[in-house]
Every structure is written in structure tokens, then in C-alpha cells.
Chains A and B, each alone.
Chain A
Amino acid sequence: MSAHDTETKQGMVSAIKSLITFNKDIPVMPLIIIGLVLAGIGAVTAVVVLVKGHEAMYAVNREVPWGMLIGTYAYFVITSTGLAFIGGLGHAFGFENFAKIGRRIVVLATLVLLAGFTQILMELGHPVRMIIWMMLSPNFAAPILWMGVFYSIELVILALELYYAFKAHPTEKDHKTAAMLGFAAMVVGTLATSNLGFVFGSLTARPWLYGVHFPLFLVVSGITAGAALLMLVHNIAYKFSIPEEYKPSMDALAKLMGGGIGIMMLMYLWKFLTSIFTQPIGSYESAMALIAGPLAANFWIGEMLLAVIIPLVILLTAKGSTKKYGIAGLIFMIGLYFTRVNYIVAGQMPVMRKATDGSGVHADLSGLGIYSPSIAEWGIFLLGIGVAMVLYFSAEKFLDLKTPEHH
């Protein structure tokens, strides 16, 4: 090794060491421990699933092949791209209120995306084969291929953004590069999320999922989720007493989240009306499964109450209280999970042929496909939540996530 190499290596080590800190004021150790426990349960579950096989452990079936894990994957990765969108508004479009919290945004977006990858890896039957054959034998018409491409690019852009976010003594050129990266993350993230919507929206066999609704709904609800999660983590980091300097940022996020819920409500209205009016085959059954069928509790309590009504009421009555913003964010993030799983499952519940004798189709008395997540699927869900918690709260504890003034 030459002297120059040694010097470079030492420089890198000291640069990394300078990044690591211990924020004793940030009370996240209990959350890291909870995250470790959840991730541990999830890891054990993952081992059991790998030994016994997906078919034996998951409750997804011939009629409903996509279930909770696809929903959890969507929950994480769409939130990540929503965060990247907000980061892009700060870096590339000069929204100072978002630029001020740039470090947290890019760290959260990256780690939430990684948590999402745990879900898709445990959902796919052959994740390693995927990497090989997507390169050797790609089908460029397939939305899932582009999903892989866009989210991989998004991860690389976020990694570069991380580098610039934590670079000591950034130059003017670095700021320009960071702005370009922010813009790229915003564009690629939006493409990734809307394309994920197209994974479902391309399915002519599934009328509830087919069409333009979900590509757009996922983008809107993803940005809303990004705002909600940022308000939540700031409240956690600052013990529900956010410093005055971040108040304008939180106000801006609250407006973004409130506006996002408003657009979601508008999209819900027309999605449901077009799915119920004159009872179109397939989408009508899905809509009714949500409104008055097997998914009704998840829909009304989870999706409507927790992800729409309560957070909106809290935001409208918050009167600038950042603590209330945090509570609204927490409730929204819980409700949004139901939103993600509901729409995927509802779309597959109308069976492809009537469940008569000999048809081979399994359906309930109302003729809908049957799905309820297994314990193993809950375990893998905990893996994702645990990984997200451990990674992010460790970052809060051991990195300086306060964006430098000059940014």
C-alpha cells in the first residue's frame, strides 16, 4: 500500500469517525430496543419461512396471491419516495422550510426504503433469481421490471444525497450537486411510486386495481405520508417539544399533509362513486368488500378514521401546536398501513370464476376470495417495522441529523 493510499484511508476513517456522535438529549434508546426485539422476532420468522417455504407459512393463496407483505412493501417504499419528494422541494425548488430539515429527510427516506426491501425479499419466491434474470432476460414491457429499476436508482441517488448531506465543509459546487440530486430523487421517486401503482393499474383482470387511480393515489398518499412521518420523528427526537427554529418547517409539513389528505379524499370520492354507480363488474364487488364486506372494519376504522378523519381534524384544530402535528402524523401512519393492505387485497377478492363445485375456486358465502394474514406474515411485517425503527432511531442517536445552517 502506498503512502498516498494510507493517507486516503486514514482520511476516510477520520471522516466517518467525525460523523459519529452520541446524542444524549435524544430519547430514542427504548425505541431502538423495541425495534431490535421486533426485528429479532421478524428474523426468526424469516428463518422459519426460509426453511419451511412460503407456501406452508403464508396465507396468500390462488385467489388472493398478493397479501400483507406486498402491502407492507408498498407502505415503506411509497413513504420513502414521498420523503424524497419533500426533500426535492427543499433542495431543488428552494422551499427553505424543507431544506432546513434536509438531513433528516434523506436519512429517513433511505432507511425506510431499506426496510421496504426486507418485505419484497421475503415476499418473492426467488429474490436472487430475480437479480440474475431481470438482467439476463428482462421483459421491458413488465411494470415489475421498471419497479426494480426505479427503486434501485432511487437508492443510489439517496446514497449520494446522504454523502452530500453529511459532507464536511461543502462547497458551492456541492450545494449545486445536492440540488440536482434532490431533483433527481424527486423525479425518479415519483416515477417509481406511480409505476408501482401501474403494477396494479395494469391488471385488466382486476377491475378495482386497473386504471389510473392507484398510480396517482400512491404518489399523493406517499407525499402525505412523508410529511406525517417527518412530523412524528421530529416530535420523538425533541420529546414532543420541537424547538422554535423548526416551527415553520412543521407548519409547512402540516399544510402539505392536510392538503394531501384533502386530495386523497377527493380521489376516494370518485374512485368509490365510479366503482359503485351502476355496479360495474369486479370493481363493485371490491368496493362493497371494503364498505360492507370482509374488509369493512379495516376500511372504516383503519383507512377512513385513522388515515383521513382523525388526522385531518387534529390538523385543522391544532392551532400551530407541533405536538398535535406529531400525534396526527402517528395516527395517519397507523391508518395508512390499512390503506395499503386494503386496496391490494380488495382488488383480488372478486374471484376469476364462480366458486361452484369443481371450479377449484375457494370463496366465502358472498362469493369473494378469502385472505387473512398468517402469523408468519405478521412476523415479517414486524421485521420491516423493527428494521426501520432500529436503523432510523440509531441514526438519531449516533449521527447528527441537525441540518447545518449554511444548507
Chain B
Amino acid sequence: MSQKKYGIVLDAKNCLNCKACTVACKFENGVEVGDEQYRIWVAEKDLKGTYPNLRLDFEPSQCQHCENTPCASVCPTSATYKTDEGVVLIDYKKCIICKACMTACPYDARFVSEVHHAIEKCTFCYHRLPEGREPACVETCPTKVRVFGDLNDPNSKAAKLLAKHDTYQLKPEKNTRPRLFYIIK
């Protein structure tokens, strides 16, 4: 069993909403064109304050690579599975497109891919990791919003950020225990 535990720590206040991450993801992973076909997104939060003192925040996100994985639990053919490092992946050849995982995911992180003829989602660019490369969204971000790393390695930048800052996770009430941590401003 690998001792690695991959995750991403995000400092969303640095996000410019340039969407370079979403473009990089599409190119890196060959995601087809279409407004329902995307692995990651940058959502605008509600406008805060009153004129002229206004603030607009952004929340970049993707598959949370949950430790308690509802999408894998409902998959009848075990097409969705977790690697030893905790990365949630899909074995496309086993996927029957029953879409149970899409209904089970509380983050709307999955979609039907016409390229793979299967359900698709963020893989943390798992194919790049053996080369020592970071996920495309992490690598391309001009303001380094996302920091990817082994959360079990105390020397990794992600683990250090996690130790240094208070963070929150999305929808903690669902008890999915996501691997994405957002730094509290």
C-alpha cells in the first residue's frame, strides 16, 4: 500500500478567473468541446458588499477525490476505483454509462464523454505523475492558486500549506472527506 496521499490545497483569493486551468485541462486530457463537457471549473461566487465597496471571489474546483467515495460505491462494475494514492479514476472499458455515479456525486464533477464513450472526470492528470509532472491545471496557473502534492509528505508544499493555514472542504456535511482543501482567507 502506497503511503502517498495526493491532494490539492487551493488559495482561491489568488484566482484571477483567467480560466487558463480549464483550457489547460481540456487540451491536456483531450476533453471535447461542449458546455457540459468539462473536468474543472471556476465558479463566480456571489458579489459581496455594497457599491462602491464590492468584492467578487472565485472558486476553482473539480473532482474532490473523496476518501469516502459515493461515486465508486454506486458503480455496479467497479469502473470507478481508487488508486493506492487515493486518486479516484475510471476504467473506461468497464463503464456502462448507467450514470449512477453522476447522480451520486455531490459536486457535479462527472459527465458523459463522447471521446471515451464512458463517464469522465478529473484524474489529477494521473498520467503525468510518474514523470514527476504536476496536473495541467496546477502547472499552468499564473498565480499558483492550486498546490498539488503528497499530503503525507511533511516536506511537500501542499502539506506545509495545509499545516500552516486553516482550510475548509466543500460540502463537509456529505461526509465525503474531499482531498481538495481551500485556504480560509
Chain A residues within CB distance 8 Å of chain B = 53-55, 60-63, 65-66, 124-127, 129-130, 133-134, 137-139, 141-145, 148, 199, 202-206, 348, 351-354, 356-362
* Given A62-B111, A353-B107; A138-B97 close (CB under 8 Å): no
* Contact in complex: A204, B108 (CB < 8 Å): no
Please report whether the interface of chain B is mostly helix, strand, loop or mixed according to DSSP. loop
* Given A203-B103, A352-B105, A352-B108; A358-B19 close (CB under 8 Å): yes
B142 close to chain A: CB less than 8 A: no
A sample of 28 inter-chain contacts (CB < 8 A) reads A53-B114, A55-B112, A61-B36, A62-B102, A62-B111, A65-B99, A65-B102, A124-B98, A125-B98, A125-B118, A129-B96, A134-B76, A137-B79, A139-B75, A142-B74, A143-B74, A199-B100, A202-B104, A203-B70, A204-B175, A205-B103, A352-B106, A357-B43, A358-B19, A358-B41, A358-B42, A358-B43, A360-B36
* Given A125-B96, A138-B78, A144-B74; A356-B174 close (CB under 8 Å): no
* Contact in complex: B103, A353 (CB < 8 Å): no
Give the A-B contact count at a CB cut-off of 8 A.
137
* Given A61-B36, A348-B103; A205-B174 close (CB under 8 Å): yes
- Residue from A55, A142, A145, A204 within 8 A of B106 (CB atoms): A204
Give the one of B74, B95, B96, B117 with max A CB within 10 A.
B96
- Residue from A124, A143, A359 within 8 A of B43 (CB atoms): A359
The distance in angstroms between the C-alpha atoms of A143 and B103, with both chains bound, is 13
A contact residues around B124 at 8 Å (CB): none
Q: Which residue of B lies closest to A67 (CB)?
A: B99
B contact residues around A62 at 8 Å (CB): 36, 102, 108, 111-112
* B73-124 interface with A by 8 A CB criterion: 73-79, 93-100, 102-108, 111-112, 114, 117-118
* Contact in complex: A352, B104 (CB < 8 Å): no
The distance in angstroms between the C-alpha atoms of A353 and B62, with both chains bound, is 12
Q: Which residue of B lies closest to A360 (CB)?
A: B41
* B29-73 interface with A by 8 A CB criterion: 35-36, 38, 41-46, 58, 61, 70, 72-73
